Amino acid sequence: MIEKLKIATSEDVAYFYSASIEKDTERGCIGHVRGDFGKDGEAFWATWFEHISSLKTPDFREELGAVIQALTEQGLLQNRSGMHDFCIKHPEARLPSARHSDVYGFCLQTAKHRYYLRCFPRAGDYNFYLYCFARAERMNELSSPLHSPSSAPLKQKSELER
């Protein structure tokens, strides 16, 4: 299901951060998870931020859970020290354009989605952002006439919505 975790390239850097609504739509950004490991580095706190709600399907939600589980098992999302150890072993994953020198970027793909994980294994800040995108092939499927919003009947607006 999950292809090998890869080190981010310079072309990937833009996918580790939020963009304009137009850019998110163009890129197929479903949303992102922001998380941290708490004060002691052992907790797991995560919040979902939706970008394009129409792409957040039940299949995607299930897959996202599996991706987070796999990243936890690999040590990246297990705790802050595990993330730190993983990142230190991959200095080439440092994101050169980041605010701090200890921000790392990794990517992975599944059959339908691409994931970009930005890691910051430092106490007192959010430790990771996992940006989720529909793959280009999936975006092409969704933009076909069968899936186009223009093929759906338009909903008449009520007075309260105008």
- 131-143 exposure pattern, b = at least 16 Cβ within 10 A, e = fewer: bbbbeeebeeebe
Q: What pLDDT is stored for residue 139 in this prediction? A: 55
Q: Which residues contact 78 (CB under 8 A, 6 or more apart)?
A: 72
Region for residue 31 given its phi and psi (left: phi exceeds 0; alpha: psi -120 to 50; beta: otherwise)? left
Q: What pLDDT is stored for residue 136 in this prediction? A: 80
pLDDT category at 1 given cuts 50, 70, 90 is low
pLDDT category at 141 given cuts 50, 70, 90 is low
Distances (CA, A) of 141 to 81, 117, 120: 41, 25, 35
pLDDT category at 6 given cuts 50, 70, 90 is very high
50 compared with 150, residue with greater pLDDT = 50
Measured CA to CA, the distance from residue 33 to residue 46 in angstroms comes to 6
Among 83, 137, 88, 81, which Cα is nearest to 109's? 137
Q: What pLDDT is stored for residue 155 in this prediction? A: 38
What's the mean pLDDT in 139-148? 48
What's the mean pLDDT in 102-128? 96
pLDDT category at 22 given cuts 50, 70, 90 is very high
Torsion of CA 27, 146, 59, 111, to 10 degrees: -60
Per residue in 110-120, pLDDT (tens digit) is 999 999 999 99
Q: Which residues contact 75 (CB under 8 A, 6 or more apart)?
A: 82, 83, 85, 86
Spell out the domain ranges in the chain. 6-142
Are 23 and 4 within 8 A, CB to CB? Answer: no
% of the chain residues with pLDDT over 90: 74
pLDDT category at 137 given cuts 50, 70, 90 is low
H or E stretch at 63 = helix 58-73
Mean confidence (pLDDT) of the chain: 86
